[in-house]
């Protein structure tokens, strides 16, 4: 038996090590304190990014890694590793693909 359940409304597909897949809502991950991805690879910074009020471009709202500034040079990150203890940015950060190598 697993702690995961299939949600009718979902925005994330979760794949367990066993290969079993669940479609869940991202907020459920946070509400159940399962948002610990430190050391995992994350596609934030490649598939999405965040621009702050100073025009700095970050990999996500978590501000894990600065990519540059809108007014200067910047580039997307293709192999981003999470340095944060929890994924606390927002739901958009939670839906970015995450995986362990």
pLDDT tens digits, 11-70: 888 888 888 888 888 888 888 888 999 999 999 988 889 999 999 999 999 899 999 999
Enter the tokens of residue 17.
């090590």
Distance CA 1, CA 17 (A): 14
User: Looking at residues 91-101, what average pLDDT do you find?
Assistant: 86
pLDDT band at 4 (very low <50, low <70, confident <90, very high): low
The residue assigned the tokens 């950060």 is: 93
Say whether 7 sits in a helix, a strand or coil: coil
Helices (H), the chain: 26-31, 91-95
The residue assigned the tokens 């939670």 is: 94
| Structural domain spans, the chain | 36-99
Whole-model pTM: value is 0.80
Burial status of residue 44 (CB atoms within 10 A of its CB: 0-12, 13-18, 19 or more): buried
Where are the extended beta strands (E) located within 9-51? 12-15, 21-24, 41-42, 50-51
More confident call, 96 vs 1: 96
């Amino acid at each position: 038996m697993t702690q995961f359940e299939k949600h009718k409304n979902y925005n994330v597909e979760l794949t367990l090590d066993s290969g079993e897949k669940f479609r869940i809502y991202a907020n459920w991950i946070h509400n159940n304190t399962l948002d610990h991805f430190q050391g995992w690879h994350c596609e934030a910074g490649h598939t999405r990014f965040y621009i702050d009020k100073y025009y700095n471009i970050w990999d996500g709202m978590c501000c894990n890694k600065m990519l540059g500034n809108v007014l200067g040079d910047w580039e997307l990150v293709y192999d981003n590793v999470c340095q944060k203890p929890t994924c606390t940015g927002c739901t958009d950060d939670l839906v970015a693909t995450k995986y362990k190598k």
